């Protein structure tokens, strides 16, 4: 029997039940540890408000702690037949062990704010894991940038050779791009890290609930204050996080495209290790960059997901609607996908081999035309006159490139500013204050009654 079923009421049609629950049972398992933590914080608050006896609180916390341990260490949590979701499963487990005390834990809350707080804590943890993986990729790119800062690479505009670049610049460019991606992730984290618990079904409660206490116990920065707005953050919060993920995916996808291009024989700038490539069924020479191609495709698919959430939520009025359940089916697989993409991108970039002395080839002579122009300017020729002279030499076929490079501009070939970029990233990651959540959970799990 469902926890909302009344006596003598008709059972829901099994086909309708399967359709409306959809994938919720398999996805709700990932919310289980957060549902336990949310229940622990809520019951501590209920006892402070006089809605639970101290001995009841103690037994609830003890049993919640045991369930949490089984989830985290033994992966034993199962949503059984007859339970509609993770919330009803946890309540049923506690009621089976504790009787009336287990029945009391739902006082002052709804499954609406339960799923909200579970999802907020789940998303908060996902942002942390994504940020840590992004930082790892960033460090790999910076290491490659330093290692290959002397190895020159053709720079392109309009897919035509333009000016000299370097592998140091190329690796370093994507490293710095990740800083902006993490900035956007931090914005999403600030939105995620607000406590909706206590908003109930969306209109609060007549109980004297202490929402500031549960905010502190669960390590949130602040509240979603307005109870109606707390409810309508559902869908909006997922969309904001997925937008941050899409932004990060755009960087990974562009990097993967560069790898596909630069790895091709016509470019020949980089080489993927043979164990990272695949062959052809009929062409014995093929070493296809499938890892980069699949990475590009997965990244492009992630970029579309904010639109999926936007379409689900676009014509919903305020309040809770079952439509919002479907956002889990978009959000949760996306978190796994972006983490996998980051991990694979890190592995790929760590193992890429670069080609040496590329610019010695005469086909890259014109890359140095600006160097010749600039040299004339240094010697006193007005820039526009120097430009015309070098352009004339190129057209006449008697251009001789000046391959002597001396770039000191901040962020250029000779001055990558990798140390400054690393400092910026490290300060940004430190500003998340992830340890605050760890400390709150440790205190909650060891709460002394």
pLDDT of res. 14 = 74
pLDDT of res. 15 = 79
Structural domains of the chain, ranges and CATH numbers in brackets: 14-104 (1.10.275.10), 111-360+416-442 (1.20.200.10), 362-396 (no CATH)
pLDDT of res. 4 = 43
Contact 270, 259 (CB under 8 A): yes
pLDDT of res. 5 = 53
Tens digit of each residue's pLDDT (9 = 90 or more) over 97-153: 989 888 899 999 998 999 999 999 999 999 999 999 999 999 999 999 999 999 999
DSSP string, 373-399: HHHHHHTT--HHHHHHHHHHHHHHT--
Global pTM value:
0.93
Contact 43, 52 (CB under 8 A): yes
pLDDT of res. 273 = 86
Segments of the chain scoring below 70 in pLDDT: 1-12, 17, 20-22, 24, 82, 280-281
Sequence length of the chain is 449
Rounded to an integer, what distance in angstroms lies between the CA atom of residue 135 and that of residue 149?
21
Rounded to an integer, what distance in angstroms lies between the CA atom of residue 14 and that of residue 25?
15
Residues 6+ apart with CB under 8 A from 372: 386, 390, 399, 400, 401, 402
pLDDT of res. 210 = 97
């Amino acid at each position: 029997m469902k926890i909302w079923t009344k006596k003598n009421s008709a059972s829901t049609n099994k086909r309708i039940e399967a359709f409306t629950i959809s994938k919720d049972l398999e996805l709700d398992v990932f919310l289980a540890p957060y549902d336990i933590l949310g229940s622990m914080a809520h019951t501590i608050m209920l006892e402070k408000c006089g809605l639970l006896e101290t001995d009841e609180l103690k037994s609830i916390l003890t049993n919640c702690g045991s369930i949490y341990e089984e989830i985290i260490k033994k992966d034993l949590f199962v949503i059984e037949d007859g339970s509609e979701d993770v919330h009803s499963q946890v309540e049923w487990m506690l009621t089976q062990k504790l009787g009336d005390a287990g029945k009391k834990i739902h006082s002052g809350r709804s499954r609406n704010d339960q799923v909200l707080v579970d999802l907020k804590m789940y998303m908060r943890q996902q942002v942390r894991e994504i940020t840590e993986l992004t930082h790892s990729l960033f460090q790999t790119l910076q290491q490659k940038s330093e290692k290959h800062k002397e190895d020159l690479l053709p720079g392109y505009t309009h897919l035509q050779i333009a000016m000299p670049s370097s592998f140091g610049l190329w690796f370093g460019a994507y490293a710095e791009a990740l800083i902006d991606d993490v900035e956007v992730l931090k914005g999403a984290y600030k939105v995620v890290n607000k406590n909706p618990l206590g908003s109930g079904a969306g209109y609060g409660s007549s109980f004297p609930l202490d929402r500031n206490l549960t905010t502190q116990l669960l390590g949130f920065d602040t509240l979603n204050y307005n109870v109606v707005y707390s409810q309508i953050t559902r869908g909006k919060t997922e969309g904001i996080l997925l937008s941050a993920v899409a932004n990060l995916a755009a960087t990974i996808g562009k990097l993967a495209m560069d790898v596909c291009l630069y790895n091709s024989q016509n470019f020949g700038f980089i080489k993927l290790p043979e164990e990272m490539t695949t062959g052809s069924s009929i062409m014995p020479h093929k070493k296809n960059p499938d890892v980069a191609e699949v990475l590009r495709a997965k990244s492009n698919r992630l970029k579309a997901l904010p639109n999926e959430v936007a379409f689900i939520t676009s014509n919903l009025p305020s309040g809770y609607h079952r439509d919002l359940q479907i956002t889990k089916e978009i959000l949760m697989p996306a978190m796994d996908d972006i983490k996998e993409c980051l991990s694979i991108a890190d592995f790929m970039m760590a193992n890429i081999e670069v080609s040496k002395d590329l610019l010695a080839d005469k086909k890259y002579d014109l890359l140095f035309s600006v160097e010749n122009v600039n040299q004339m300017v240094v010697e006193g020729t007005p820039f526009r006159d120097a430009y015309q002279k070098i352009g004339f030499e190129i057209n006449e076929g008697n251009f001789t490139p000046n391959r002597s490079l001396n770039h000191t501009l901040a962020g250029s070939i000779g001055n990558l500013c990798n140390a400054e970029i690393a400092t910026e990233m490290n300060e940004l990651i430190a500003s998340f204050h992830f340890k605050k959540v760890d400390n709150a959970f440790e205190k909650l799990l060891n709460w002394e009654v």
